[in-house]
Every structure is written in C-alpha cells, then in structure tokens.
Amino acid sequence: MMKMDAPEIMTDLKQDIVRVPKVIKEASGIIFFGKRIRSIIFTTDIAIIRNTDAEAVIAVYPFTPHPAITKSIIEAADIPVFSGIGGGLTHGQRSAYMALFAEAQGSLGVVVNGPTPVETIAEVNNVIDIPIISTVTSIHSKIDEKLAAGVKVINISAAKDTVETVKYFRENYPDLPIIATGGPDEETIQKTIEAGANAITYTPPSNGELFSSKMKKYRKQEESEK
C-alpha cells in the first residue's frame, strides 16, 4: 500500500502558529489514556498555547500554584494540559488539593517539583486518578521511593547534562516513561531522543520575541509599499 502524507488544513488567520521542531516526531511518545504524546510545549502563555502544533502543554511556573491559573490555562487550551501542583515550598495537603482541582478541571496529569517529599506524592496519589509526573534535575535524583509512592512518569530537566541524565535513567529504568527537555536546537533534541526520552518538552520563543519578529515584518511591508 502506498504511504500517503497527511493533508494539512490551514486558514490565512492561523498561519503564524508556533511549530515544534519536526525531529520530535521521531520520539516514541507516551500514550496517556489512548492519546500518544511526543511534543509538549513548556509555557503558561495562553496566546501561545492556543496557537501551537504541540500535542500537549506542561504548565509549570516559578510561583505558588493557584487554582485560578490552572483553570485559565485548561479552559483556554485545545490540547491536553499537564498542570504543576508544586511540591517544593507548596507540599502536603495543599498540593493534594491542587491536584484534585486540576483533575476536576480536565488536566491529563499533574507535575511535582524535584524536592517534593515522598509523603506528598503518596497524599496526591490517594486523591487523583491521573498520572503524577516528577521532575528530575540530575543523575543524583532519587526516584525509587517516589515511584513506589505513585509517580508514573519522570520529567528530566538537567540543563546541559540532560542527555547524560536521560541516558542514565533509561539504562537503569528501561520501562519508565521519560519526558525530557530537548535543548536549543534539533541536534540536541535528536541526542535526547536517542538517549531514551519518550517525549520532548519544547520551550517556545517568548510572546515579546514573537511580536518583535512580526513588527519587523510589518515595517518591511510598509517600506515596500512606499
């Protein structure tokens, strides 16, 4: 049978979407409740979330998690959302409440920070029926107790050491679902996939950077019309 390329439907007003690097399609993906997810955009910017071809969004941010933020992102998104529920400064019962709220609003999973106590993970696991994703920052991160407490997926974010960290955990946990940051370009994303990542998080340009690019385009257009 002849293999056909997938046709793409696009309109003039939707041309400027944020596209994730094509190399991410080479990842195996992780199947969440029947949905295969390979590309995950890392942003809380609703405008970007509404205009991307990523298959999911990971909505974590450097502030205390709040239901209003979770609710706004999930309502605006037209792709699955993995919601941050803290775990560092915010832990224990508050994280469990945040997780329950996130599930009720439609999150596909919840994300806990690296320092999250095992007790908090167990408490969260007792109240939700969606997967817990634990952030891992180095090969020294201890995950055995967290896996036993309910973590189903790890999210590796180890900066320049991400590839080696992915390789380490893939060798030691061959069946563990791994999400990992892809780095700055297609080459680093490729290396991260080859190291064993099932899905890749992609950090898009900021809203300001995207706007700057569009304004340059408008200025050139005006100059050409003179």
CATH for 50: 3.20.20.60
Would you say residue 2 has pLDDT above 80?
no
Domain of 148, in residue numbers: 18-225
What is the number of structural domains in the chain?
1
Residue 27 lies in a domain: yes
Establish if 58 belongs to a structural domain: yes
Q: Is residue 127 part of a domain?
A: yes
Please tell me the predicted confidence (pLDDT) of residue 87.
Answer: 83
Please, are residues 181 and 157 in contact by the beta-carbon 8 Å criterion? yes
pLDDT cut 70: percent of the chain above it: 96
Determine, yes or no, domain membership for 69.
yes
| pLDDT tens digits, one per residue of 133-163 | 999 999 999 999 999 999 999 999 999 999 9
Inside any domain, residue 153: yes
How many residues are there in the chain? 226
pLDDT over 80 (residue 217): no
- On the question of pLDDT at 195 being above 90, the answer is yes
Q: Which amino acid is at 63?
A: F
Residue 7 lies in a domain: no
Whether residue 11 is contained in a domain is answered as: no
Average pLDDT in the chain: 92
pLDDT of 225: 67
For residue 46, is it within any domain? yes
3-state secondary structure of 11: coil
